[in-house]
């Protein structure tokens, strides 16, 4: 562990880039199932430089919606979260809505999907892809 990066529990290192200062709030949790799926997707792309960007933007039936995309570029103000050899990126605006959330990957008879369990969401739509605060 490097001295300039704060250690957080749950085998998850979260550290801000440049001006970001970590608060006492819980980090964003990426489950082992989520990490395994992301690793599989990166392997399929055959590009080890890919990082998963998780974001929130306006839209959806509840006001905000979650999004995921692969990115090779980390912006100066991104929060960088590392787990299981993977890098996850979250922009500052999205981070405030995702602090304390757990991001999982599930497979069931209804299909497979990334699932976000967000304690900040007051309501969510039926499909779980949008929320309000």
Report the binding-site residues for iron-sulfur cluster.
61, 125, 127
Q: Is 27 exposed, middle or buried (0-12, 13-18, 19+ CB in 10 A)?
A: buried
Distance of CA 106 to CAs 24, 32, 40, 116, Å? Answer: 29, 11, 14, 10
Annotated binding site: 61, 125, 127
List CB contacts of 4: < 8 A, sequence separation 6 or more. none
């Amino acid at each position: 562990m490097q001295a300039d990066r704060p250690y957080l529990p749950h085998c998850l290192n979260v550290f801000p880039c440049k001006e970001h200062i970590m608060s006492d709030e819980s980090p964003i949790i990426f489950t082992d199932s989520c990490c395994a799926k992301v690793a599989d997707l990166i392997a399929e792309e055959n590009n080890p430089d890919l990082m998963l960007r998780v974001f929130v933007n306006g839209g959806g039936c509840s006001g905000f919606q979650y999004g995921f995309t692969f990115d090779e570029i980390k912006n100066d103000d991104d929060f960088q979260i590392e787990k299981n050899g993977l890098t996850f990126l979250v922009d500052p605006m999205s981070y405030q809505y995702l602090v304390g959330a757990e991001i999982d990957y599930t497979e069931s008879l209804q299909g497979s999907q990334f699932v976000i369990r967000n304690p900040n969401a007051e309501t969510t739509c039926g499909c779980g892809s949008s929320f309000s605060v």
